[in-house]
């Protein structure tokens, strides 16, 4: 990471293919190309969450040909600043994630990032599973 919330695309282009594909969870979505990734995920994530503390992956990357995977416990602890995923500013909470990616040569070509959003939102006081249940079964 550059430390700059709005780093130029050239920073990622050093290690990412220009036409890379980034797959995030449903509330965030997927992005094609570095510029779209930055606009749709990187900038909202970096600017919408404040005082981020990164813990790093709990298990190391496991290479298998061009594929890599990591499983992680809480990788980031952060409160929302306000606006990220439609939330007001809130409580500092652990964000758990798991990543798989495909490399082409020495650059990232595809990246799947699973973020346990129900867990993170629950720490913010929003139980999305219970909310969905109550909407679908109001009795």
- Quick: pLDDT tens for 72-102: 667 788 888 887 887 887 788 888 888 888 9
| 3-class state of residue 135 by DSSP | helix
The mean predicted confidence, pLDDT, of the chain is: 84
Q: What is the pTM of this model?
A: 0.77
**pLDDT of 26-36, one tens digit each?**
878 899 999 99
User: Can you list the domains of the chain with their CATH numbers?
Assistant: 9-136 (3.10.450.50)
Residue 2 pLDDT: 45
- Asked whether the predicted pLDDT for residue 60 surpasses 70, the reply is no
* 15 exposure class (CB count in 10 Å sphere: 0-12, 13-18, 19+): exposed
Q: How many residues does the chain have?
A: 139
């Amino acid at each position: 990471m550059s430390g700059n919330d709005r780093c130029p695309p050239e920073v990622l282009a050093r290690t990412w293919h220009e036409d890379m594909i980034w797959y995030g969870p449903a509330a965030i979505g997927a992005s094609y190309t570095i510029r779209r990734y930055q606009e749709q995920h990187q900038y909202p994530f970096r600017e919408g969450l404040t005082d981020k503390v990164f813990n790093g992956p709990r298990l190391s990357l496991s290479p298998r040909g061009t594929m890599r995977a990591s499983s992680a416990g809480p990788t980031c602890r952060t409160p929302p600043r306000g606006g990220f995923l439609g939330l007001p500013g809130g409580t500092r909470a652990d964000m758990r994630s798991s990543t798989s990616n495909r490399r082409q040569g020495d650059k990232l070509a595809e990246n799947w990032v699973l973020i346990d959003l129900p867990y993170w939102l629950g720490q913010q006081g929003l139980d999305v599973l219970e909310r969905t249940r109550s909407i679908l079964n109001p009795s």
